[in-house]
Amino acid sequence: MYQTPAVKQLGAEVEVVKIEDIEEILKYNVLTTPVLMIDEVIKTKGRVADVQEKKTWPQATNTI
């Protein structure tokens, strides 16, 4: 289980997959990193989201 400050505050469990293969990355039409995706939906790319922003995503997607 991977824990970030936002995940800890929400008391959630998440699975984190780090993709380093350039061909796999390009399948998502991503040219800048880092990218954070939830359920195959890009939430941020080219920057790191802050904790407050991350905490809004479960309500928007019904999942973390």
3's tokens: 């824990």
Would you list the domain boundaries of the chain?
5-61
- Closest among 42, 39, 51, 56 to 8, alpha carbons compared: 51
Residue 20's CB is within 10 A of a number of other CB atoms, namely: 7
Structure pTM?
0.65
Phi, psi at 9, each rounded to 5°: -65, -30
- Say what the pLDDT of residue 63 is: 46
- Say what the pLDDT of residue 53 is: 86
pLDDT tens across the length of the chain (64 residues): 556 777 778 777 777 788 889 998 889 888 888 888 888 888 889 998 888 888 887 655 554 4
Residue pair 35/28 in contact (Cβ under 8 Å)? The answer is yes
